[in-house]
Structure 1
Amino acid sequence: MVGASYITAGLISLAAAQLVSNSEPEGMALVVGKLLTLDESDKIFNPGLILMRGSKLEYVGELREVPEGYEVLKHEELWAWPGLVDLHSHIHGPGRDLNDMVKPLNPELRASPTFDPFEERIEVATAAGVTTLFGIPGSGTSISGFGLVYKTKRSEPSYDNMVVRDPGGMKVAQNFNPQRGAGDVGNTWCGLAFNLEHLNDRVSRLASDDEAELDWQLENLARVHRGELPVLIHCASAEGVAAVVRMWKVRYGTDCVVSHGSWDGWMAAGFAAKHGVPVNHGPRTANMLSTRREDRVVGGAAEYTAAGVPLFSLNTDAPVIPQEQLFLQGSMSARLGADAYHMLRAVTTHPAQSFQLADRVGSLESGKDADVVLSTGDPLDPRSRVEFVFIDGQLEYSRADDGQIF
């Protein structure tokens, strides 16, 4: 945890007259050498200033006079960027409790009872600059339930202090993993599609009828059909991606996001782009097997973005890939042909925008949550070290005080 030496060693004044007093500071000012806002205009400031007041960002921009009463952290050698966001994570609780496997459709279930705020993997994620996660059930059933959006806070680990939205959105598994061998419907893609459409046709009608009485087990699914909650849909391969787009966007018009889209899923990128469906790609971001067909290793991110898929993002499916390596998904995707800055958006603002979170996280803008990371260089460069992580304006990680956790 953050040590007391932070106040004596890290905080200085920008002017001789601006002294740190014993009174409670008005806020905190961060002075950095490079500031990446990741806002809609992609503004970058060299150098830059961030003012944090309480849990929110008060000012983000070029250097100016710091208001009286603000503590100042001055590191002109560091870069500042928004905390990373991952929409496909399972590290919030023990694996055995993440997916109830009795029935193929479980819209009444939530991931929140499995949430463990003291999970050690969350602390490592914080040290890597990952600040917002969508913790979800597994993919063993076609509708495994509703996940929760939470911050990776370590100073006061608790449900009330960390959770942003519960339910945060629905998790669906469309092909491969949920195909069941228990003898019930759902052993094939035909059975999976029937199960999902049979239930969703019913709930779609009920959700549009203000006078209809909803079974409590279907209330959150009805919220998905009304656009109040997003849905993340596990699928892979081109036919899987296309089936997701046809069902969840064309047929039901939901606020849906394709998740994974691996192997040759990129071959349906144009279809997803045509219907405006975001793709949350990973953990496999390269199709090595395609060398048999295209005579090259295909970088999925490069193909999806080239096709014009909106709000393209990346995931780890942690712990499949360790949560702290989310940045590396962007690094490798850039190495395989995607635009590097676009990949930075793919782990910050794009996942936030695609999952109804953009009013709070994903970019550094006045009024948004003060989730700020300071590092020694480019966020996607494996040589860069994270030095400080602030979440909701609180210092949650300091490499000098906490040590090199990752």
Structure 2
Amino acid sequence: MKWILKNAIIHPVTSETFRGSILIDKGKIAQINPAERKGTKIFDGGGLHLFPGIVEEHCHIGTHGEKTNQTADQDTNEWSEPITPEMHALDGIKIYDFGFKMALANGITTLNIFPGSGSPITGIGVALKNDPSLRFEERILIKESGLKMAFGENPKSVHSKTSKTIQTRMATAALIRKAFQDALNYEKKADKEYNRRFEILLRVLKGELTAHVHAHRADDIQTIIRIADEFQFKIHLEHATESHLIPEIIAQRQIPVAIGPMFTAKYKIEVNNRSLRTPAILEKAGVKDLSLITDHPVIPIWNLPIEASMAVHYGLSEDLALRSITINPARNLGLDHRIGSIEVGKDADMILLDRELLDPTHRVLYVWTNGTLSYDTEKEGMVL
């Protein structure tokens, strides 16, 4: 169906803001400032602010219940052994989890869901369109969005108690090296039985799958950089709490960084050096590929644009702050050809706000996914 959204202040993200209209056709943005045609449905934006749907690059929505921390409602971490690349977040998602509605009501239209960080290698993520009108399988944007790995306190605290395999950071690094070396040895065998675990690791080594690495401390960040250099694979840094201590290293290598969650208490030793100035410090050093994340349910997903607002308060440019929750995570997921900005040819995932997105007092009034109205706050109310 064709329809026009007119009379809005349009923030494309990748180009200058303008007041105008857009034509939506078959779920896509078809034209900017189209001529109104008789019979075409019109939605009057009322002079409000139109932004692309927000993209959450790293969360555990649907796999970790936010109203309970009981084992029965926790499908984020497989703790039976430390190396489990064959696990897939897709198989642990409860699609009717309350968090999906919370995300949608607050303008988050794309969700990348990873396994947790309880093991050195925990499994594969999945990127979903947060569209309640679609069946589960239809929501999948990228079935395998990256391989989750983890360093630091989490693997130590889990596997010192369960598998008894990790007591130190040295063991975490050693197990990861061994896993990749075992995969290489497997590849060399002429007569071998198919091993899904090794096949996934080989895809990382061949550049077909990116390693998204949970690391808070600066030394953990440098350890994964060393391992990635040894085995020649691509990494994205997740959390990177102490990245402000080594900004030049990250900038020189242009490693994509997803910062957050920013609003927790300093509940672990490895986050004691957390700073709200980290995004600004990275930007000043020359890091351009910066995203912000909530790690939901570590903090509720509606905090994502507020994190961006707070980062601006502490020195991040408004341009990069806006990109950090839209086009940058879209690009890191390989989805920037479809989402993350308002451009002709992209999915019509859009949110209409009463104020600018970086204004922490804004309210999301309408949310469209694939050109269909998915949330109307006046009718359905705010969800927090």
Q: CA deviation at 1:235?
A: 0.3
Alpha carbons 1:244, 1:258 under 8 Å: kept: no
Equivalent residue for 2:54?
84
After alignment, is 333-342 or 198-207 more displaced? 198-207
Q: CA deviation at 1:317?
A: 0.7
Query: Partners of 2:109 and 2:188 in 1: how far apart?
Result: 36
CA 1:226–1:205 in 2, change beyond 3 Å: closer, same or farther? farther
1:53 aligns with 2:25: yes
Alpha carbons 2:64, 2:297 under 8 Å: kept: no
**Residue 35 of structure 2: which of 65, 77, 84 is its match?**
65
SS at match of 1:193: helix
Equivalent residue for 1:187?
167
Equivalent residue for 1:34?
9
**Residue 200 of structure 2: which of 211, 220, 225 is its match?**
220
Q: CA deviation at 1:206?
A: 6.2
Equivalent residue for 1:21?
none
Q: Once the two structures are superposed, what CA deviation does each residue of 1:235-255 show, in whole Å capped at 9, x if it has no partner?
A: 01211222222323x333433
Equivalent residue for 2:237?
258
Question: What residue identity is the alignment partner of 1:169?
Answer: G
Equivalent residue for 1:102?
80
SS at match of 1:167: coil
Counting matched residue pairs gives 368
Equivalent residue for 2:254?
276
Query: Partners of 2:308 and 2:151 in 1: how far apart?
Result: 25
Query: Partners of 1:378 and 1:210 in 2: how far apart?
Result: 59
SS at match of 1:347: coil
Q: CA deviation at 1:31?
A: 1.4
**Residue 358 of structure 1: which of 322, 327, 336 is its match?**
336
Q: Once the two structures are superposed, what CA deviation does each residue of 1:269-308 show, in whole Å capped at 9, x if it has no partner?
A: 211111120100001379989xxxxx99651111111111
1:168 aligns with 2:138: no
Query: Partners of 1:196 and 1:50 in 2: how far apart?
Result: 49
Question: What residue identity is the alignment partner of 1:84?
Answer: I
RMSD: 2.6
1:131 aligns with 2:101: no
Q: Once the two structures are superposed, what CA deviation does each residue of 1:190-214 show, in whole Å capped at 9, x if it has no partner?
A: 1111111111234357679999875
Question: What residue identity is the alignment partner of 2:214?
Answer: H
1:43 aligns with 2:43: no
Equivalent residue for 2:63?
93
CA 1:207–1:376 in 2, change beyond 3 Å: closer, same or farther? farther
Alpha carbons 1:91, 1:135 under 8 Å: kept: yes
Alpha carbons 1:27, 1:51 under 8 Å: kept: yes
Question: What residue identity is the alignment partner of 1:44?
Answer: T
SS at match of 1:243: helix
Query: Partners of 2:77 and 2:153 in 1: how far apart?
Result: 15
Query: Partners of 1:66 and 1:336 in 2: how far apart?
Result: 43
Q: CA deviation at 1:328?
A: 0.7
Query: Partners of 1:187 and 1:318 in 2: how far apart?
Result: 27
1:301 aligns with 2:279: yes
1:382 aligns with 2:360: yes
Q: How does 1:310-325 map to 2 (within 5 A)?
A: 310-325=288-303
Alpha carbons 1:54, 1:393 under 8 Å: kept: yes
Q: CA deviation at 1:48?
A: 2.2
Identity %: 28
SS at match of 1:168: coil
Alpha carbons 1:266, 1:303 under 8 Å: kept: yes
TM-score calculated relative to the size of structure 1: 0.84
Query: Partners of 1:304 and 1:97 in 2: how far apart?
Result: 33
Question: What residue identity is the alignment partner of 1:58?
Answer: A
Q: CA deviation at 1:135?
A: 0.9
After alignment, is 340-349 or 179-188 more displaced? 179-188
Query: Partners of 1:252 and 1:55 in 2: how far apart?
Result: 42
Q: CA deviation at 1:164?
A: 1.3
CA 1:296–1:125 in 2, change beyond 3 Å: closer, same or farther? closer
CA 1:203–1:285 in 2, change beyond 3 Å: closer, same or farther? farther
**Residue 326 of structure 1: which of 285, 293, 304 is its match?**
304
SS at match of 1:396: strand
1:177 aligns with 2:154: yes
Alpha carbons 2:251, 2:285 under 8 Å: kept: yes
Q: How does 1:7-22 map to 2 (within 5 A)?
A: none
Alpha carbons 1:98, 1:138 under 8 Å: kept: yes
